[in-house]
Structure 1
Amino acid sequence: MQMWKQAIEHALQKTRENIERFGDQFPHVSEKGKYLLNDNNEWTDGFWSGILWLCYEYSGDEVFKTAAQKTVESFRNRLGTNQKLDHHDIGFLYSLSSKAQWIIEGNEDAKHLTLQAADVLMSRWRAKGGYIQAWGPEGDPENGGRIIIDCLMNLPLLYWAYEHTGKEEYKEVAVAHADKSRRFLVRGDDSSYHTFYFDQETGEAIRGGTHQGYTDGSTWTRGQAWGIYGFALSYRYTKNPLYLETSKRLAKYFLERLPEDDVVYWDFNVAINSDTKRDSSASAITAAGIIELLTHLEASDPDRNLLEGGMQRSLQGLVKGYSTVGQPAAEGLLDRGSYSVRGGVSPDDYVIWGDYYYLEALVRLDKGIQGYWYERK
């Protein structure tokens, strides 16, 4: 579709400019129209690396490849110094940087680095509770028993490590965490909790909650998006039909609640008025996740048309109403992403993960470039 090509060309040009703007630093979220940069110490820094690799695969331009390779060296240094890796987002960091390099170039050093990163994620497994701890050190009184739905997107790092080593514990931990997430984060009406708490000693379920959603019982749209894509990826690796069913359920819930312009607000339960914040990144993640989900559905699946049509509507809504096409000074690809509305942190700004998933969805539709969550067959 010509619309996708034009959006991709805009992303390529913007990324070329951003390579010069950002230098050796990494974009996170924006403030007053400028990306806040860091020295590779945020959970989001893999998304910039992923954007560079996607641009290189799509265009073949060595400028993107050189910049992407430099980011992998930065991630090698980060792992060596263990700089701010006391969280579960290791998959976001290393799947889109070193694993991407392995997938594209077959670089053995990149493969080894990615396996080391998988071991860092494994260190967050809490055997007593049977889950991967999201944030903070083991035994932390606030977060020691907490899982969050985002972690489903980090599990592919462990599945991939199992495929490359044959060590069953990688897959066992990923499956156990996916099962626990399905049981406790997904509600009976197909909505989702952002987080859930367990007793650290016994693993007994305590309660659902939120960190960035409207209320503990509401449905944060980005959390629902993580679930759609994350369960689809767990299905790809395990072929457990329950994961596929769960991804579909979450996706249908999301699409049935699209607003008039097809790009969601930041929470499905928040009151809608002229000041209500959007989250374009939630729609971008969902579009990319449904593209993955569709690859696992039969042509005769009764939900296929709903899902494919909703994905197309979401992506067209982003391109037509939220892309920065025609804004030469813009640094991001999408307007109106939200990091933390409740916390007042970049509630209506560029967010680098939104840019990544938007571009991933576009290049997959246009050229079949699948992203870096699994090996290409």
Structure 2
Amino acid sequence: MNTKNLLVGIGLCLLSACTEVDNKLEVDRALEYCDRQVHRTLEVMHGKGREVDYTMMPRNIMDGQYDWNYRKVSKEEWCGGFWPGILWYDYEYTQDPKIKEEAEKFTASLKFLSEIPAYDHDLGFLVFCSYGNGYRLTGSPEYKQVIINTADSLSALFNPCVGTMLSWPRNVEMFGGHNTIMDNMINLEMLFWAAKNGGNPYLFDIAVAHADKTMKYHFRPDYTSYHVAVYDTLTGEFIKGVTHQGYSDDSMWARGQAWAIYGYTVVYRETKDVRYLDFVQKVTDVYLKNLPEDYVPYWDFNDPSIPDAPRDASAACVVASALLELSGYLPAEKALEYKQAAVKMLTSLNSDKYQCGKSKLAFLLHSTGHLPAGSEIDASIIYADYYYMEALLRLKRLTENKPIIDE
């Protein structure tokens, strides 16, 4: 890659981002909105006449509701790390010591996950979004050890015959083999981090093997992805690609494609192997070219009920955050394309159509969790808010000419 072109690309992206933010986005105003919503949630939690239960995490707000539906922290509740992560992001922006204290208390309730065998692949979501951000902002040795211990636990799901981590041990019989879901790509970041921060170096090899096998079998010739790839547990042979949360086995489920874009951006960052950089652009381009006008996808790109199908703001948040990082690794023209796409996504998400405002405690409306199961359809969902705030903080860093990723 030509270094001069890369630098020029970054410079053009920064200029473009600054101009568009000044005209449309106003990143600080969006982050201040997030901070207000965080405080509103905390006020409700503290205002119920009893001590806050720091093991109860916000999960979703359905149509007609104002307050969150809360879920108890457990090995089964995969979204438990997002609320502590949001609090850490809010502390990063505000430097408010009261927010830091709340982040520490909610984060502490997840420590048990580092002390038990892995229930499934979601440990990255649970621990790296919480303890990972906490360590990044505090440097706490205790947080570091929790992450390393959790990465070791997660690695036990790796099957060397297959070359990937098992996603849902409880669903092996249902799928007919070793199942790996696209969401699992997000958990690789914790393995990479642990490998270079005092954990077992083998964790790096596991992450690379998982990324390689997923790249080979989890995508169709047009670079759209299956939600689930099923392998023979003993031989590692690819059996089939299917869906679980998408419209059909052959459709492009929006959040699954988003996980792929984000995941392979991380893999390139950690390996600097251009194979991943080339691949993630192909995965990204098929997503971008099929977006509706406002750049917030329908829950599945192939739902025949479009334009009457539900949107998935959470997918837009994940992709916006990923593109802001990915643009920093590319030559000028492609970098600018991806930066502008991310800004378009965030501009839409920052509008009255997608922001909750005073109607709910969450940041955003119109996410879709698991439509085939009838779960969290057209809802406010905690992971949408997490990646929304992450994307805003990344864009703020870019406009201030700061690195997006803390090395």
> Among residues 331, 334, 346, which one is paired with 1:315 in the alignment?
346
The corresponding residue for 1:20 is 43
The corresponding residue for 1:352 is 382
Query: Structure 1 residue 198: deviation in Å?
Result: 0.4
- State TM-score, norm by structure 2: 0.86
> Among residues 341, 360, 371, which one is paired with 1:341 in the alignment?
371
Q: After superposition, what is the alpha-carbon deviation per residue over 1:293-328, rounded to whole angstroms, capped at 9, x for unaligned?
A: 1121133xx422321221111111111254325x31
> Contact conserved, 2:58 with 2:68, CA < 8 A, in 1?
yes
Please identify runs of 4+ aligned residues in structure 1 that moved more than 6 A. none
Query: Structure 1 residue 367: deviation in Å?
Result: 3.4
Query: Structure 1 residue 114: deviation in Å?
Result: 0.7
Larger Cα Rg: Structure 1 or Structure 2?
Answer: 2
> Contact conserved, 1:57 with 1:369, CA < 8 A, in 2?
no
Q: 1:138 to 1:111 in 2, by over 3 A?
A: farther
> Among residues 337, 348, 353, which one is paired with 1:306 in the alignment?
337
Q: 1:267 to 1:187 in 2, by over 3 A?
A: same
The corresponding residue for 1:290 is 323
The corresponding residue for 1:165 is 198
Q: After superposition, what is the alpha-carbon deviation per residue over 1:131-168, rounded to whole angstroms, capped at 9, x for unaligned?
A: 10001259656475100111111001111111012633
Query: Structure 1 residue 368: deviation in Å?
Result: 5.1
The corresponding residue for 1:8 is 31
Q: After superposition, what is the alpha-carbon deviation per residue over 1:224-276, rounded to whole angstroms, capped at 9, x for unaligned?
A: 00000100000000111111112111111111111122211001111244531
> Contact conserved, 1:136 with 1:143, CA < 8 A, in 2?
no
* Unmatched runs of 5 consecutive residues or more in structure 2: 1-20, 46-51
Query: Structure 1 residue 357: deviation in Å?
Result: 0.6
Give % identity: 32
Asked if 1:237 corresponds to 2:270, the answer is yes
* Unmatched runs of 5 consecutive residues or more in structure 1: none
Aligned-partner Cα distance in 2 for 1:306–1:40: 40
For this pair of structures, how many residues does the alignment match?
369
Aligned-partner Cα distance in 2 for 1:120–1:165: 15
The corresponding residue for 1:125 is 158
The corresponding residue for 1:68 is 103
The corresponding residue for 2:168 is 135
Q: How does 1:1-377 map onto structure 2 within 5 Å?
A: 1=21, 3-22=26-45, 23=52, 24=54, 25-32=56-63, 33=65, 34-41=67-74, 42-80=77-115, 85-137=118-170, 140=173, 142=175, 144-165=177-198, 167-273=200-306, 275-299=308-332, 302-324=333-355, 327-367=357-397, 376-377=406-407
Aligned-partner Cα distance in 1 for 2:338–2:251: 23
- State TM-score, norm by structure 1: 0.92
The corresponding residue for 2:11 is none
Query: Structure 1 residue 375: deviation in Å?
Result: 6.8
> Contact conserved, 2:354 with 2:366, CA < 8 A, in 1?
no
Aligned-partner Cα distance in 2 for 1:189–1:202: 27
Aligned-partner Cα distance in 2 for 1:159–1:143: 30
> Contact conserved, 1:147 with 1:195, CA < 8 A, in 2?
yes
User: What is the Cα-based RMSD across aligned positions, in Å?
Assistant: 2.1
